[in-house]
Structure 1
Amino acid sequence: MLALFVYMPLIQNLVYSFQEFSMLSGKRSFIGLDNYKMLFSDPVIVTALINNVKYAVISVIFQVGFGLILAAVLEDEAFRKISPFFRTIYFIPVVISITVICLLFTFVYHPTDGLLNLFLEAIGLGSWAKPWLGSGSTAIYAVIAVSQWQSVGYCMMLFIVAIQKIPADLYEAAKIDGAGKIRSFFNVTLPQVKEMCFVTSVITITGAFMVFNEPFIMTKGGGPGTSSITIAVHMYQTGFFKDSMGYASTIAMLMFLITAVMAFAQTVFFRTGKGD
């Protein structure tokens, strides 16, 4: 099954990356490293990489960082009774289709009738209102914000599982030593969930470099212009809009290398999922 659905398509894509061919004509020709030379001189690739890096950095801060804080707060004794309710609330966006969420936030970001601009005007900050998805300076950040809203609950649940496995004796010992909640978080909780921090970071960063749905649906393929384009969107447009499947395969290889490096770092340096 792995050979049929993973390794064979990967090898086939590698072969395609050295070719030039069209899906319409079906004619293929070997061009060597020309696609890779084009990759390093493609200005859209640079923009896409920068956007993916922004995606990754912001996602680690909010999904991993804020997810950990939420998990620690909800697992605190003071919130134990209401914790199940808030866990459900924060996790609901995770199970909603990303397509539905993108369409929903398209209405939220509407320049005239959108909830966000109407809210800013209602609280006296009408000067901040703008076409969030129609401006090159804000489109990528508006798209990234949607991903954070949708995915923070997933990281939160992973951290909750990790926190629940921490022995209660450690917190009791910290309390006896006079440690407050904040100090207990940094001295007990954070060291104990260190591996989960890395696992969620790898998942988040890998997902950030493979993101496709959000920019494609919300900005009509990375607009305005290429200001919010990502590597996956550029690959799709190159292959199916420009009918340059060879170069699209080369972009796919770039995505594979980036995500493979993340997986390699997880496996080798942290040995995630292996026993002591």
Structure 2
Amino acid sequence: MPIDSKTTDNENIKQIICIKWGAKYGADYANKLYGMVSRNITPPFRFVCFTDDTTDVRSEIECQELPPLDITMPTNTMGKWPKSRLWGEKLGDLTGNVLFLDLDVIVVDSLDPFFEYGKPDDTVLSYNPSNPLERLGQTSCFRFQVGSLTSLQEKFKADPQGIADKYRFEQRFVTRNAPGGVKLFPKAWVAHFRRKCRQPFPLNYFKTPKIPKGASIIIFPGDLNPTDAISGRYHPNAADNIKDHLKKIKEPKNLKSPLRHLRHFILPVNWVEKYWKE
């Protein structure tokens, strides 16, 4: 069970935060994330959701207003720049160390080590396998001290579109500019679903994606999310069976890169449904 934040020192508890804005993710994502966290953490803990809509959010979740950030967000960029709201001097009523989780992650094992790794004042990101030649962090899961990233927010506020155009993704901006640099959690702890869980071609047509050894969190960057994985779709508009997927290879865009299309197929992933629940 979560603790009463009014009577407990934040330095002695584990604090998990998420952010929910707009209509892309409903309350069910926050509710399921809370459920997974509560089953995979040693109390006491707090779970805080910064959001602009508290409708149907379960009562155990502490909902707080989105941190203010009076800027125009960048357009035509792939990064999740609204996360910059978390970089300010203040973060609701939180102080100390916090672990941020994207709403669409799957928690499959204990989160305790994420609070024990490194020093308390370290900024620690997940390892990003998408650019193996670049030491790049991933912000789907990262830990930081409230207020320690204020300089990042100030740089971003000064030129939001310019920063987004230069760095493309907010995790690259954080990796390159966090005060004192960043550390990375051990590679095995956080697994990228598309790159570490799904089977390589042609095994993707015969074997389901797997949970890599040592993983505690599965992240879903890009268009493929947990609901797609459960139904066996590589993205929301993809086919959910082999026959229809193979038929789509005749489409002009897929004829240009047939191997890419063949690789982009997954079988339904039952273990995602097993873990991804309230």
TM-score interval (norm. to shorter): under 0.3
> TM-score under structure 1 normalisation?
0.19
Q: As a proportion of its length, which structure holds more helix?
A: 1
Of structures 1 and 2, the one scoring higher in RCO (CA 8 A, sep 6+) is 1
Hey, which of these two has a bigger chunk of strand by percent?
2
Higher-Rg structure is: 1
